[in-house]
Amino acid sequence: MFIDEAKIRVKAGDGGNGCMAFRREKFVPRGGPSGGDGGKGGDIVMESSERHNTLVHFRFNPEHKAERGRHGEGSNKTGRDGGDVLLKVPVGTILFDDETGDKIFEFTQADQKFVIARGGRGGRGNARFATSVHQAPREHEGGRPGEEHTYRLELKLLADVGLVGYPNVGKSTLISRISSARPKIADYPFTTLEPNLGVVAVGDAKNEISFVVADIPGLIEGAHTGAGLGTQFLRHIERTRLLVHLVDVSDASGRADVTKDVEVILGELSSFGAGLEDKPMIMAASKIDAVNKDRLADLKRYCKKHKLKLYEISAVTGKGIEELKFAMAAAVDELREKDLQESAQPRG
């Protein structure tokens, strides 16, 4: 089960109350105030983890409450602080305030921590109010309440390459050939109902390039408005560096105009926004083992006109797969280097 959205309610621990007490001990003739402070309430902390890849654990457990601080006691004893609650989320999770819609935090790498609800401060005991002119204070404070929030969690997969295209063009078969991923494969549209991730390694041990490929469920016309699987999975393409657009050039595609197929997908990427239309793209003519020569010729003319690299592949026979893998690796390596150079430049 792939869950990429969840809503949670969190309540940090309340602070403990300060104590009002006076010392009454043998051999202490003038005891004075001895009320201790209350303990701090527990925080709720969120941490990104590579061991999690969905938000399903929040779907069935949406409420989280931290421990309150213990009350102060006599003899200047401070109450124990409440225990924190740690919530694990996948890398790529974005935290939104459910009421305002504001983006609170984005987990972009493993082991990032962020306090999403702070525990209340403990109240002061009456010993803290003693002065030279006010030697027997009866004032003491109650603990402050812990923060309470409702958040919306949204997961965007972190992948270097996103496979896009119409349903049933061979994306799942391709990712199963180039990685150890084993998605469901069948000869009907929308077989893939959730994104699949696969790690691809190219080259020898000394010069190996590895990258993550995401098989995005099939897009159709109107996807950016929610048609088909629509916006449910378009957002997962936002974080990819490179797009590989698979186009079915076989007789079995059921669509006559290959140019329209390409334009529809590009139009959906553009309409969704988030800069998807500006991402580098490699075109792949899939199912070349059962090719329709007219469709392939039309696609070649389109790619030449728009200066797009085209690779002819068959995930069934393996033809062209290695060439495509090396092209993807080279493009990813170049884009990573570009990102490093841009991040190293001083910002002014």
**pLDDT by residue (tens digit) across 215-258?**
877 564 544 444 444 445 566 677 788 999 999 888 776 667 88
125 and 21 in a single domain? The answer is yes
327 and 185 in a single domain? The answer is yes
Output the pLDDT for position 3.
61
- Beta-ladder partners of 73: 77
Q: How many domains does the chain have?
A: 2
Can you give the residue range of the structural domain that contains 28?
1-155
Q: Where residue 229 sits, what CATH number does that domain have? A: 3.40.50.300
**Whether the Cβ atoms of residue 36 and residue 80 lie closer than 8 Å to each other:** no
Residues of the chain with pLDDT below 50 are: 1, 183-193, 220, 222-231
- Residue 260 host element (H or E): helix 258-272
Distance CA 184, CA 248 (A): 19
168 and 295 in a single domain? The answer is yes
121 and 173 in a single domain? The answer is no
297 and 337 in a single domain? The answer is yes
Q: How far apart are the first and last CA of the chain?
A: 45
Strands 209-215 and 161-164: parallel
Output the pLDDT for position 228.
42
CA 315 to chain centre: 30
Distance CA 128, CA 283 (A): 72
Query: Is 47 exposed, middle or buried (CB count within 10 Å of its CB: 0-12, 13-18, 19+)?
Result: middle
176 and 299 in a single domain? The answer is yes
Give helix 171-178 / helix 321-344 axis angle, nearest 10°. 80
Choose one of 109, 136, 155: the last residue of a domain.
155
Distance CA 222, CA 229 (A): 10
115 and 189 in a single domain? The answer is no
Q: Which residue has the tokens 């069934």?
A: 316
Output the pLDDT for position 182.
56
Give the contacts of 167 (CB within 8 A, at least 6 positions apart).
189, 190, 191, 217, 218, 219, 220, 228
Tell me the residue length of the chain. Answer: 348
Q: Where residue 10 sits, what CATH number does that domain have? A: 2.70.210.12
Exposed e or buried b per residue across 270-279, where buried means at least 16 C-beta atoms within 10 angstroms of its C-beta: eebeeebeeb
Output the pLDDT for position 171.
83
pTM score, whole prediction:
0.65
136 and 193 in a single domain? The answer is no
Residue 15's φ and ψ, nearest 5 degrees, are -75, 150
101 and 224 in a single domain? The answer is no
Give the contacts of 312 (CB within 8 A, at least 6 positions apart).
284, 285, 288, 296, 319, 320
Q: Which residue has the tokens 């409440």?
A: 82
Helix, coil or strand: residue 164: strand
139 and 28 in a single domain? The answer is yes
Distance CA 277, CA 283 (A): 14
Question: What is the torsion angle, in degrees rounded to the nearest 10, for the CA atoms of residue 97, residue 100, residue 103 and residue 104?
Answer: -50
Choose one of 132, 155, 178: the last residue of a domain.
155
Residue 270's φ and ψ, nearest 5 degrees, are -65, -40
Closest CA to 14 of 72, 61, 78, 65: 65
Choose one of 113, 135, 155: the last residue of a domain.
155
148 and 175 in a single domain? The answer is no
307 and 199 in a single domain? The answer is yes
